[in-house]
Structure 1
Amino acid sequence: MLRLAGEYDGMVTAPKLDAMTGLARIPRAGSALVRLLDATPIGMILACEDGRIIYANRAFAAVMGYRWSEAAPLNVFDLVHPDNRSDARLHFDRLARGETDQYRGEHRWHHADGTVLWVMVAATLFEDRPGAPRQLIIQITSIELQKKAEEALAYSESRWNFALESARQGVWDHDIRNDTMFYSRMWRVMRGIPPEEEVDGDQQRWLERVHPEDRPHILANVDRQDMGDSDFDALEYRERKRDGSYVWILSRGRPVEWDAEGNPIRTIGTDTDITRLKVMEQELAAEKERLRVTLEAMADGMISTDLNGQVVFMNPAAEKLTGLRASLAVGRAVSDVFRLRSERDDGELPCPVRACLDSATQIKADDDSVLCAHDGPQRDIRCTASPVMSENGELSGAVLVFQDVTQSRALQRQLAHSAAHDDLTGLPNRAAFERALSDAIAAARHGAREHCLVYLDLDHFKPVNDTAGHAAGDALLRQVAQTIKGVCRSHDMAARIGGDEFAVILEDCPISNGRQVAEKIVRAIGALVFSWAGREYQIGASAGVTVIGGTPASPLGFMGEADAACYAAKAQGRSRVVAFPDMG
């Protein structure tokens, strides 16, 4: 809520609104915008179209006595004096309907100590991008001194002139009957004119000092000010000073005398130097534009959320990767916008933003995360959710940055596959087989499980290679590899471990079953009829089988046992299976 800036804990009659996170609703510019607002010496409010205050800077607290807190913000209209509230709503509604691009007006507002303070209100409505929620930037300037000075006009010209001088307000007085102008000393000082120098009040001479870009606006509206148009009593323009530089002027004025027919015959007003404010506005706009260009140029997707995990901002890269427009994503739970699943088991993965908000720490997801886009495609992604902390160290939201790593992850999978597989046959290579054998031995040793190891060596392969050539030999090896895979179960490990040598690990398979599988493989290879260049070739295979248990049955080790059994099979006439240690 808005509270007093000092020790005084006065009461504000305006009702509190429901809690909402303010800073997270500031679009795109985020903390940079807040820092710029806080650096502004003018009271600044950022509000929704309906008047709900999203953020108020330090200068506002200094002027109105309130300190900003996001826990329970107020509504702008709750601070306006009841006598001015309907008029303020009328002008803000015109601004929202686009009937004017800015509004300036004078209102009485409630100060935190219970008093009523006259303020100058300047409001503009901006849209961060097409379709985004529009928001109000409201500038608050105390004009209590000016108001008191205007009241003093009724008593003494010297008295109000002294008050305005103290407030550094230049005064002008336009007598419409004879088209003459009076300018106060401060009016001259702010333009670099010597205080006592006479100034030609001719309008054309004044227009020559006005910046060329501002003249059309001045010409179109200066008469409205003179005539007391209630919708237009302030002009902003640049005027050239004596040293050639320009000063930004806010000129407020209204008629104070009328003729018998009710026509204004005298208008009095004050000029304020708002150069510093305009410089801050330009810096704010430039910073906002730099942030916009930076965010739109990022190749990585970025989603910003509030404390409740609802999306408040998405950059174009995030729109492309998620397949959802920002206009449809803002306000939705980030878990509905950023949907992840596991590449390994296809199960749904939690959105890292929730864990980030719960722990107030950075959360990374870069292993097997797959982003399910709303427009169909699925992409491998790497993402990081980081907490966003306010200046007082409190958690205010999170930022999720993610990138498409589909190509790099596919390359990693391809490299991993190549490192573990035989290029010719596509079967696992010897290195992969040895790792699988070590895992099988460990499982047998610690889990009281029993596996079988089959060692295969082709018979009569060399004549094919020598007669038909290496291309034929390679084709035959590929055919043999597919034959072996076709006999084995899907979870068995079949590998090429040498030129014409193959090995198979049969998981959870007793020796009797292992021998039967080996015999099926030998028969299948013996049944192959290989044709090449119009000639048919027939080969065979010899196999040795051993049990993978807690320890090898001999010092040869499991591979040595299977190899010895295969050698015995060849010695017994080839194309047969021998089990270790029964090699007789």
Structure 2
Amino acid sequence: MATPRPHDPALLGTDAWHSARTFARLLDAAPLGMLVTTVDGRVVYANPAFADLLGHRPEPGAQLEFADLVAESARTMTRLHFDRLLRGEVQVTRGEHQLRHVDGQPVWVMVGATVLPADDDTPPLVLVQMNSIELQKRAEEALAASESRWNFALESARQGVWDHDIRNDTMFYSRMWRVMRGIPPEEDVDGDQQVWLDRVHPDDRAHVVANVDKQDQGDTDFDALEYRERKRDGSYVWILSRGKPVEWDEAGNPVRTIGTDTDITRLKVMEQELAAEKERLRVTLEAMADGMISTDLDGRVVFMNPAAEKLTGLRATAAVGLPVSRVFRLRSERDDVDLPCPVADCLATATQIRADDDSVLCAHDGPRRDIRCTASPVLGEGGVLTGAVLVFQDVTQSRALQRQLAHSAAHDDLTGLPNRAAFERALTNTILGAQHSQREHCLVYLDLDRFKPVNDTAGHAAGDALLRQVAQTIKGVCRSHDMAARIGGDEFAVILEDCPLPHGRIVAEKIVRSIGALVFSWAGRDYVIGASAGVTAITRAPASPLGFMGEADAACYAAKAKGRGGVVAFSEMMG
């Protein structure tokens, strides 16, 4: 390459020109890019390192202006630096500038310039030294980009950064650290620990004071502190502060701790709301009269309320973890056999299972209670089955009342025998059974004889007592599965299951004899009554249009007509 030389020897003078050539040879060997320009910016010398740096290789006689070397975006700033130099405000200017490579691409260069003063033979010149800092700038840009990403990430998470230099007890606080406390981002913050502690909520101060030094020392059990700190507006922000040492001295003692503060106010508010809701739920569950047991997906007890403890006779501490079938034991009221726990079916089908009737809970402490219960599936996120909840009530009293009411509705208040309505339902069922099978039954219709004189002379109380005695006499003759009922004032009827007519007649005669043998005493006086009975067979169809009840009534009427105290079968009347 032809080394550029001063363009005009006459400009410098002969001696000066020779001195310049010597100076140029020295600059040719310099590893840094070197330029010599006139004060108006015309390049009079450029060394090889400059050519390697920017790719410009001017030939002798070529015109090259320093301004042409500056990237367009940096021209204003570069001109300001050189203007100060040329005005004599500074002896040397040094700074980072973007120059333009010959291919048009900007190149970051550290530029230093100074003015070589004029002498007798030489006008003033500007000596420019330049060194590429492109790699450094790229590293800085990468670092800045990385720091920007972290800053954005931390600020998006509302995390402020603090840096405690333990050696000189100084603190650094990031922008977000200030923002979350309502402090202007650029405001200086007093890092004195006492000033900070004065902002900590009084209820949290003792805990913070006791543990903040442990955080500085790297105690892993205290690397996080939760506390409230007063903001500029007087409100409090919940802070989660995490930190640990990052530098140690020769003795291994921490000398610098870095950490982050996170605004967890919303989480704390939610936590407090959940705690309050949990407490309300606990109080509600404990106040419930109904027992409640919750189970996991395997049907094991995870929770019992006090009512459930009382009804099952088992403490929750002993029940948790056990299969619910061992805690909640059901038996059938009707036949006293074990019943399956409804939770098993609930978990198997993921549907609600009810057990309303015929269920008796066998408590572990002895009592048996009529129970009504419902097992409901518990569904988690996405409708996934996670367990079941069993709610049950002690219905012993209500079920007893129901039985009492049902008994009263179907029985005669005076005698305790089934009443006419219950008898007619039973007779209908018996007739339907006879129509669909070969079985034969009998119907006996009874009417008391000489009952009215007792009622008239001794009074209704005596009559009622006599009717009760007659009812017990009829029940005493019948089998346990036969149905004897009072169907009128002094009228009774009996359904004899699986009893042919001849045997039914025998039973009717026995009833009549037993009633006739009664001696009823009242107020010192004895009364003797009797009864007449009519019998008919209950088969697939009545023997006459009267129907079975009409046939038995007609046969009883016929027995009375014969002189009372007798039994007549309807078939005898037909013969």
Q: Same fold (TM over 0.5)?
A: yes
Q: Residue 436 in 1 paired to residue 426 in 2? A: yes
> Aligned partners of 1:398 and 1:228: how far apart in 2?
46
Q: Residue 392 in 1 paired to residue 382 in 2? A: yes
> Aligned partners of 2:432 and 2:242: how far apart in 1?
89
Most deviating of 179-188 and 534-543: 179-188
User: 1:40: which partner in 2?
Assistant: none
User: 1:536: which partner in 2?
Assistant: 526
Q: Residue 225 in 1 paired to residue 203 in 2? A: no
Out of 561, 570, 573, which is 1:580 matched to? 570
Correspondences of 1:187-336 after superposition (within 5 Å): 187-255=177-245, 266-336=256-326
User: 2:332: which partner in 1?
Assistant: 342
Q: Note the alpha carbon deviations across 1:99-144, whole angstroms, 9 max, x for none.
A: xxxxxxxxxxxxxxxxxxxxxxxxxxxxxxxxxxxxxxxxxxxxxx
Q: Residue 167 in 1 paired to residue 165 in 2? A: no
User: 2:538: which partner in 1?
Assistant: 548
Shift of 1:361: 2.7
Shift of 1:256: 5.3
The AA in structure 1 aligned to 2:344 is R
The AA in structure 1 aligned to 2:351 is T
> Aligned partners of 1:199 and 1:527: how far apart in 2?
115
Decide whether aligned partners of structure 1 residues 439 and 251 sit closer, same or farther in structure 2, where only a CA change above 3 A counts: closer
Shift of 1:338: 2.2
Shift of 1:164: 5.6
Q: Percent identity?
A: 83
Decide whether aligned partners of structure 1 residues 533 and 166 sit closer, same or farther in structure 2, where only a CA change above 3 A counts: closer
Give the SS at the match of 1:392: helix
Out of 439, 455, 459, which is 1:449 matched to? 439
> Aligned partners of 1:270 and 1:392: how far apart in 2?
36
Decide whether aligned partners of structure 1 residues 464 and 184 sit closer, same or farther in structure 2, where only a CA change above 3 A counts: same
Correspondences of 1:28-427 after superposition (within 5 Å): 163=150, 167-168=154-155, 169-176=159-166, 179-255=169-245, 266-427=256-417
The answer on whether the counterparts of 1:164 and 1:170 sit within 8 Å (CA) in structure 2 is no
> Aligned partners of 2:401 and 2:522: how far apart in 1?
35
Give aligned pairs, total: 430
The AA in structure 2 aligned to 1:442 is L
Q: Residue 511 in 1 paired to residue 507 in 2? A: no
Q: Note the alpha carbon deviations across 1:165-206, whole angstroms, 9 max, x for none.
A: 752443444455655444344332221112332323333322
> Aligned partners of 1:395 and 1:254: how far apart in 2?
43
> Aligned partners of 1:223 and 1:400: how far apart in 2?
51
> Aligned partners of 1:277 and 1:232: how far apart in 2?
20
The answer on whether the counterparts of 1:258 and 1:266 sit within 8 Å (CA) in structure 2 is yes
The answer on whether the counterparts of 1:339 and 1:372 sit within 8 Å (CA) in structure 2 is yes
The AA in structure 2 aligned to 1:476 is L
Out of 466, 475, 480, which is 1:485 matched to? 475
Most deviating of 477-486 and 240-249: 240-249
The AA in structure 1 aligned to 2:378 is V
TM-score (normalised: structure 2): 0.68
Shift of 1:472: 0.6
User: 1:127: which partner in 2?
Assistant: none
The answer on whether the counterparts of 1:371 and 1:378 sit within 8 Å (CA) in structure 2 is yes
Q: Residue 521 in 1 paired to residue 521 in 2? A: no
> Aligned partners of 2:353 and 2:382: how far apart in 1?
22
> Aligned partners of 1:312 and 1:347: how far apart in 2?
27
Decide whether aligned partners of structure 1 residues 184 and 474 sit closer, same or farther in structure 2, where only a CA change above 3 A counts: same
> Aligned partners of 2:295 and 2:339: how far apart in 1?
19
The AA in structure 1 aligned to 2:563 is G
Give the SS at the match of 1:581: helix
Shift of 1:448: 1.8
Q: Note the alpha carbon deviations across 1:430-464, whole angstroms, 9 max, x for none.
A: 11111222222222222122212111111111111
User: 1:564: which partner in 2?
Assistant: 554
The answer on whether the counterparts of 1:165 and 1:186 sit within 8 Å (CA) in structure 2 is no
User: 1:59: which partner in 2?
Assistant: none
Shift of 1:334: 2.3
> Aligned partners of 1:326 and 1:479: how far apart in 2?
54
User: 2:15: which partner in 1?
Assistant: none
User: 2:49: which partner in 1?
Assistant: none
Give the SS at the match of 2:382: coil
> Aligned partners of 2:535 and 2:277: how far apart in 1?
75
User: 2:35: which partner in 1?
Assistant: none
> Aligned partners of 1:289 and 1:428: how far apart in 2?
54
Shift of 1:546: 1.8
> Aligned partners of 2:380 and 2:389: how far apart in 1?
13
Shift of 1:392: 3.0
TM-score (normalised: structure 1): 0.67
> Aligned partners of 1:349 and 1:246: how far apart in 2?
58
Provide the alpha-carbon RMSD of the alignment: 2.9
> Aligned partners of 1:391 and 1:172: how far apart in 2?
39
Give the SS at the match of 1:582: helix
The AA in structure 2 aligned to 1:450 is E
> Aligned partners of 1:500 and 1:338: how far apart in 2?
50
The answer on whether the counterparts of 1:380 and 1:409 sit within 8 Å (CA) in structure 2 is yes
> Aligned partners of 2:431 and 2:219: how far apart in 1?
95
> Aligned partners of 1:158 and 1:576: how far apart in 2?
119
Q: Note the alpha carbon deviations across 1:52-71, whole angstroms, 9 max, x for none.
A: xxxxxxxxxxxxxxxxxxxx
> Aligned partners of 1:572 and 1:334: how far apart in 2?
70
Structure of higher RCO (CA pairs closer than 8 Å, 6+ residues apart): 1
The answer on whether the counterparts of 1:340 and 1:351 sit within 8 Å (CA) in structure 2 is yes
Shift of 1:530: 1.2
Decide whether aligned partners of structure 1 residues 246 and 161 sit closer, same or farther in structure 2, where only a CA change above 3 A counts: farther
The AA in structure 2 aligned to 1:232 is F
Consecutive unaligned residues of structure 1, counting only runs of 5 or more, are: 1-155
The AA in structure 1 aligned to 2:292 is M
> Aligned partners of 1:558 and 1:270: how far apart in 2?
96
Of structures 1 and 2, the larger Rg is shown by 2
Q: Note the alpha carbon deviations across 1:255-291, whole angstroms, 9 max, x for none.
A: 5566676665554443332323323332332343333
> Aligned partners of 2:385 and 2:221: how far apart in 1?
43
Give the SS at the match of 1:518: helix
